[in-house]
Amino acid sequence: MRIGLLTEGGYPYAVGDSGVWCERLVHGLGQHQFDMYALGGSGTPAALPSNARVARVADPGGPDTGPAGRTLFERAGCGDHRAARRAYGRRERRRFIEAFHQLATGLCTEDEDGAGLSAGGPTAGLRGAAAFAAGLYALADLARERGGLSGALRSDDAVRTLEAACRAPGARRGAAAAGLPDHLAFVEHLERALRPLSLDWYEDDALGAVDLCHAAAGGTTALPGLLAKRFFGTPLLVTEYGVQLRSHYLSAAGADRSGPLRTLLAALHGRLAGEVYRQAELLTPGNAHTRRWQEKCGADRTRIRTVHPGMTADRFAEVGEDEESGDPATLVWVGRVEPAKDLIALLHAFAEVRARQPDARLRIVAVPVRDPGSAAYLAHCKGLAAQLFPDEAAGAHAVGENPVTFEELGGPEAPTLEDVHASGAVVVLSSVVEGFPASLVEAMFCARATVSTDVGAVVEIIGGTGLVVPPRNPRALADACLALLRDPERRYRLGAAARARALELFTVEQNLAAFRDIYLELLSHAPVRHRSGDGVPFAHPAEAHVPGSWAQKAVAAGTGAPDA
């Protein structure tokens, strides 16, 4: 099977959380061919296995990425609005205005029951999500035929059309209050978001040649998959391990943006996510938290299947099987140092723990990050720790020691995650905002009892194998930590149950098995499309996808049938 893997700012050009699961997928499913389509890729890609290749790369932050040499707009110069306007003739300009009006109407109005067709054309009376979708696909058709879409989206025509949609009867209250600066800022953002419409990926030798599009996120990342489905009927699979739409809502609340602009931005990303969710053959959220967001945005729950992220468990096996490891009085926290992790509440909770159990200790192990703001937050936390816990010394001539230590993962005191988890009895998560906390799964692999705040997918991950308390509640956090520090047998029972649960649900093997089945299922339901150069249809039987089967051995040997 040939998979078009759609990524944005991730694999194979980025390392870290955004690309890990894609890398494991490509390496783990060697029986499939992966064509990588990367938005925002730059630099040297990571080493790819023999079954994967980089098919296309585009920079959404760069100039117009329409196919060079085939459109009037690129030849005219997309940076000049007047040249862009001249690039479209009267007919193309009319098509653009009509399509953009539909899209803007869909953004500026709410969905209405019974909204339908009118005498003005097949889409003239559509409102809400239907109008947005009609305008989006009309713009895609125009970009594919004539190019020049990026410049047109920055033209005066686009600004005037948006202004008219915002002031039309029935427009959202926030959109109706938008002024010219809001219209200009939104049009600029919209042009960047819709640049995938102008890519040269929608050809018979590109996305037209794949059997399945697999988007590594929703929103803009999945937009090429939407168009591949429209132009070629290619099935679309969307995997989300975080809530991208929620991130857009939070980012739209910046102090430098007006209320009307935030309304328009939220409408854009909400409409785009909703259209992706409705058109995808299958959605595979990484947790129930993401699943609920997808359902709220209009996804059909019958086409949603939770697939938990796969994590490597082997490296934690030695720690998880060692029942005697760990200081029975030490709490461990591991993660990125940032305000969302609420280390302030953790330090206040530990102050109460120390008051009731004086030998308790706390290790705060920071994962290295490049965010300059993390250094200031870390300094603030260290200052608070110094105030709450003065250095303690055994005598007048001894050097004092603080019960709270701040370390960096990879340093002399905390070389690996295994060593960090092995040093303590209880692992603590104190966050006020989380998606799918990988550090919690790693602690479970190490058979550690955990105390966590009830945020994101925490309860789904823990499943009764750890203690969960409300966020921003230091006293509840302290009570839960003390309960486990004082009860070794309970710690052991919870840790053993946590390890068993993690090995069952969160390993790389279960993740790969799920996607292996999903790929075959989606392809079995898709229409058969025979393309020139593919050979004889059905020359390779379905059994050829099963490792070790007679069919796979026959195909590898260059035959089409089992040995006689």
pLDDT tens over the chain, length 564 residues:
899 999 987 788 865 555 788 989 999 999 999 999 998 867 778 889 999 999 999 876 554 443 333 333 333 334 444 444 446 888 999 999 999 999 999 999 987 543 333 333 444 456 789 999 999 999 999 999 988 899 999 999 999 999 999 999 989 888 999 999 999 999 999 999 999 999 999 998 899 999 999 999 888 999 999 999 999 999 999 999 877 776 666 665 555 788 899 899 999 999 999 999 999 999 999 988 889 888 988 899 999 999 998 899 999 999 988 766 789 999 999 999 999 999 999 999 999 999 999 999 999 999 988 777 788 999 999 999 999 998 764 555 545 578 999 999 988 888 899 999 999 999 999 999 888 898 999 999 999 999 999 998 899 999 999 999 999 999 999 999 999 999 999 999 999 999 999 999 999 999 999 999 999 999 888 766 655 445 555 555 555 656 666 655 665 565 554 444
Residues 295 and 324 both lie in one domain: no
Name the phi and psi angles at 240, rounded to 5.
Answer: -130, 120
Tell me 391's DSSP state. Answer: -
Distance CA 335, CA 350 (A): 17
**Residue 512 placed within a domain:** no
Residues 153 and 28 both lie in one domain: no
CA distances from 436 to 154, 283, 288, 409, 431 (A): 38, 17, 10, 20, 12
Q: Which residue has the tokens 């690309």?
A: 19
pLDDT in tens, 315-368: 999 998 876 678 999 999 999 999 999 999 999 999 999 999 999 999 999 998
**Residue 541 placed within a domain:** no
Distance CA 98, CA 103 (A): 9
Looking at 147-179, list the stretches that DSSP marks H as alpha helix, in order from N- to C-terminal side: 149-153, 156-167, 173-176
Amino acid at the residue 180: L
Residues 318 and 361 both lie in one domain: yes
Residues 489 and 340 both lie in one domain: yes
- pLDDT, residue 531, reads 54
Q: How do strand 2-8 and strand 426-429 relate by DSSP bridges?
A: unpaired
What predicted TM-score, i.e. pTM, was given to this entire model? 0.81
Tokens of 22: 């894609």
- pLDDT, residue 436, reads 85
- pLDDT, residue 33, reads 96
Residues 273 and 146 both lie in one domain: no
Q: How do strand 2-8 and strand 212-215 relate by DSSP bridges?
A: parallel
For residue 262, the enclosing domain spans: 2-64+200-303
Tokens of 464: 């009764």
- pLDDT, residue 328, reads 93
Tokens of 519: 């790929």
Residues 42 and 177 both lie in one domain: no
Residues 323 and 373 both lie in one domain: yes
Q: Please say whether the beta carbons of 101 and 157 come within 8 A.
A: no
**Residue 308 placed within a domain:** no
Q: What residues contact 424, with CB distance under 8 A and at least 6 apart?
A: 326, 327, 330, 331, 332, 363, 448
Distance CA 134, CA 551 (A): 45
- pLDDT, residue 525, reads 83
Residues 138 and 159 both lie in one domain: yes
**Residue 554 placed within a domain:** no
Residues 434 and 345 both lie in one domain: yes
Q: Please say whether the beta carbons of 230 and 141 come within 8 A.
A: no
**Residue 521 placed within a domain:** no
Q: Which of the listed residues 303, 322, 338 is the one where a domain comes to its end?
A: 303
What is the number of alpha carbons within 13 Å of residue 309 lying toward its C-beta? Answer: 27
Residues 188 and 91 both lie in one domain: yes
- pLDDT, residue 74, reads 38
**Residue 122 placed within a domain:** yes
Nearest one of 32, 6, 20 to 518, comparing CA atoms: 32
Across-strand partners of 8? 39
- pLDDT, residue 118, reads 34
Tokens of 420: 């960090």
- pLDDT, residue 556, reads 57
b/e map 474-487, b = 16+ CB within 10 Å: bebbbbbbbebbee
- pLDDT, residue 212, reads 96
Residues 341 and 410 both lie in one domain: yes
Question: What strand order describes the sheet that includes 426-429?
Answer: 404-408, 361-366, 330-335, 426-429, 449-453, 467-469
Amino acid at the residue 80: D
**Residue 101 placed within a domain:** yes
CATH number at residue 345: 3.40.50.2000
Q: Which of the listed residues 303, 333, 365 is the one where a domain comes to its end?
A: 303
Distance CA 434, CA 196 (A): 30
Residues 149 and 246 both lie in one domain: no
- Count of domains in the chain? 3
- pLDDT, residue 186, reads 95
**Residue 549 placed within a domain:** no
Name the phi and psi angles at 142, rounded to 5.
Answer: -65, -45
- pLDDT, residue 545, reads 57
Q: Which of the listed residues 193, 226, 245 is the one where a domain comes to its end?
A: 193
